Amino acid sequence: MTSPRWLRHLSWIPGIWIAWEYIYYLQFKLPGAEGSVYLFTILSDWLGTPGGEKPFRLFVAAMEMAASILVLIPATRLPGGLFSLGIISGAIFFHVASPLGIDPYNDGATLFKEACVTWVASAAILLLLREEIPMWIERLRGLVPARRHA
């Protein structure tokens, strides 16, 4: 079952926000801008992987790039929204639970606020396209071979 057409059209709004947000920050993550290196160094040290800043930063950048693509393709917007929700939940967790803090740049917590808006946009996609969830579950079931019991 697919969502009503107007909901699918409405889902473009959060999808564009998510893609814009992730793609915008790639310009800092991919080349290793000073602020991005600073944040990921704090996180990798806190996680007990000192020196792991670069692979961690590039892994997050790759995931955000993939989520950006998925939310812009109508046929994959729902799994893209779910993927984005997972990514941004991790970002919010790290801001709240790690030494990174809510306002690491002392700029009024811009990064954290944008993460919260991206979380809401991701959840909005899931809400708007919720009628497609059973279809996606069936698709995933088809990818997993049935277990044989001995």
* Residue 49 placed within a domain: yes
The Cβ of residue 44 has, within 10 Å, a number of other Cβ atoms equal to 18
- For 47-85, write each residue's pLDDT tens digit: 999 999 999 999 999 999 999 999 999 999 999 999 999
Q: Is 69 exposed, middle or buried, given 0-12, 13-18 or 19+ CB atoms closer than 10 A?
A: middle
Give the pLDDT score at 103. Answer: 95
Q: 1: pLDDT confidence band, cut at 50, 70 and 90?
A: low
* Residue 72 placed within a domain: yes
Across the range 18-26, mean pLDDT stands at 97
Separation between Cα atoms, residue 18 and residue 12, nearest integer Å: 10
**In the chain, what is the greatest distance between 2 CA atoms, to the nearest angstrom?**
61
Separation between Cα atoms, residue 143 and residue 66, nearest integer Å: 20
Q: Which two tokens stand for residue 61?
A: 């950048």
Tell me if residue 109 falls in helix, strand or coil: coil
Across the range 90-95, mean pLDDT stands at 96
* Residue 150 placed within a domain: no
* Residue 9 placed within a domain: yes
* Residue 105 placed within a domain: yes
Closest CA to 78 of 126, 17, 121, 123: 126
* Residue 149 placed within a domain: no
Q: Is the dihedral of CA 57, 60, 64, 65 positive or negative?
A: positive
* Residue 98 placed within a domain: yes
Give the pLDDT score at 150. Answer: 62
Residue for token digits 């941004």?
88
Number of domains in the chain: 1
Separation between Cα atoms, residue 2 and residue 133, nearest integer Å: 9
Across the range 12-32, mean pLDDT stands at 96
Please, are residues 50 and 43 in contact by the beta-carbon 8 Å criterion?
Answer: no
* Residue 62 placed within a domain: yes
pTM of the complete model: 0.87
Q: What is the extent of the structural domain holding 107?
A: 5-143
